[in-house]
Amino acid sequence: MDACRRQVTRSGFVVLDKPAGLSSARALDAWRPKGGRRRSRPRIGHAGTLDPFATGVLLVLLGEATRFARMAMGLPKTYRATVRFGIETDTLDPTGEVVRIADAGPVAPPALDAAIAAQLGSVTQAPPAFSALRVDGTRAYRLARAGESPRLAARTVRIDSIAIRQSDWPEVTLDVVCGAGTYLRALARDLGAALGLPASLRALRRTAIGPFVAAPEAPSIRPLIDLLTAAGIPSLHVDSARALRFAQGNAIPGGGDGPQVAVVHGGEVVGVGRVLPGGDVCGGLVLRSARESLEADNRIRRG
């Protein structure tokens, strides 16, 4: 654990395989720096929360990579979800109290395929009451645990594909690819509703975020450029003079088609800039550490 903490000295990310029983925040503990003043510690965060009962890929963002959390959360996510038809819990997962039971019958109903097809594309989904969304400043799950019924507005989410991996009715295991903000617990509930049955998740594993999958070996810090490339941001490799100009807020040539480009010098990301109509690059997000390093090198060169 201490070896992990000593590595958190630069911007990057870790592809973590979260075990069951830990919240996403607690799963970061092995990478969270200890000691020193809190405000001086490197920042750390994650992209895309996993419920404590769920396992699988969690992207841990380190240092200034936390500023790119929105890009990381926008990557498609792949899940393996086991839905149990005929039983619904208040949390829509195996940690909750059973609130409804119904006879699901001996075999899967013919309407199952149609119910799955109806969930593809841009769909309207009501988040579960037990969720981390805020209602008037309070987490919805806190209200639900207190016996209240939080009012959560339905929202549009994207589900790219759903494939039946295994059917052992009344349990069905699905492989799901979806966009940010999709609740697999809500998907289980909605599939059950389409069949006239209560339903909830029995198990959930996130198998990938974008191209990133959990590796069997111990996780290590990956460079920020890998995350930006996965998000579809092209790279512009520049010399030190252009890198410094960009880092100090000036436009530099060579942006390409845009709309954004990662400015890279010496294999390290300087920042992500906007591509202007004429092809120049400026603005956007600059890493403070990169700017300070470039300015220090420039002072040394100038003597």
The answer for 10, left when phi > 0, alpha when psi is -120 to 50, beta otherwise, is beta
CA distances 31 to 5, 43, 106, 220, 221, Å, are 5, 10, 48, 10, 10
How far is the C-alpha of 153 from the C-alpha of 173, rounded, in Å?
28
Distance between start and end Cα atoms, the chain: 42
- Confirm if 160 and 76 have CB atoms less than 8 A apart: yes
How far is the C-alpha of 130 from the C-alpha of 164, rounded, in Å?
26
17 is catalytic: no
How far is the C-alpha of 52 from the C-alpha of 257, rounded, in Å?
42
Query: Which sign, positive or negative, has the C-alpha torsion 279, 243, 227, 229?
Result: positive
- Confirm if 234 and 102 have CB atoms less than 8 A apart: no
CA distances 183 to 52, 154, 277, Å, are 14, 12, 39
CA distances 104 to 113, 203, 230, Å, are 16, 19, 42
**Annotated catalytic residue, options 17, 29, 51, 175:** 51
Hey, is 265 helix, strand or coil? strand
How far is the C-alpha of 214 from the C-alpha of 217, rounded, in Å?
9
Q: If we measure between CA atoms, which residue out of 72, 103, 90, 62 comes closest to residue 150?
A: 90
Exposed, middle or buried, 85 (CB in 10 Å: 0-12/13-18/19+)?
buried
Question: Catalytic residue positions?
Answer: 51
